[in-house]
Amino acid sequence: MAYKTEDVFSFAAFDPSRFAEGFRDIAEKGAAQSREAFGKLKTAAEEATKTVESTMQTAQAGSVELGLKAIDALRTNADLSLSHMEALLGVKSVAELVELQTGFFRKQAELTVEQAKAMQEAARKLAEEVSKPGKEAAEKVMSQFKAA
């Protein structure tokens, strides 16, 4: 009984050199794509590291500024309170005491509002500066996705 070459299970049409060529092409394309993807990942990681470093430096500087503002506010309030205590020691009448207390409370309230505004503005500015590198990095990434 003779086997036919057109048989479904026949390997007569199989060429190992063509198979090896195709496999090599696929492997080379895969390696090239992997190198390209690794390069993009490396670049993205380096940019992310720079962004984080910049953000941390800005946050640190802003925290110092906020701390100095808080210390200044505490010092101002302490000085005002000490001055008020000294003035209270020289009070000669109830009317003078009421007038002194009223003036102190008014001045303290105005000062507190000013200090709160200054701290709020400094905190807002710090938040903008800290978020700026992240926003810029995100916009850059999004523009790359849009371009691709």
Judge whether 5 lies within some domain: no
SS3 state of residue 13: coil
Residue with tokens 């802003």: 62
Judge whether 12 lies within some domain: no
Judge whether 37 lies within some domain: yes
Find the mean pLDDT for residues 43-64.
83
pLDDT at 148 > cutoff 70: no
Judge whether 142 lies within some domain: yes
Model confidence over 124-143: pLDDT tens digits?
998 888 888 878 877 877 77
Question: What integer pLDDT is reported at residue 139 of this predicted model?
Answer: 81
Using CA of residue 54, residue 56, residue 59, residue 65, what is the dihedral sign? negative
Model confidence over 56-104: pLDDT tens digits?
888 888 888 889 999 999 999 999 999 999 999 999 999 999 999 999 9
Instruction: Say how many domains are in the chain.
Output: 1
- Is this model's pTM higher than 0.85 or not? no
Note down the domain range covering 90.
17-147
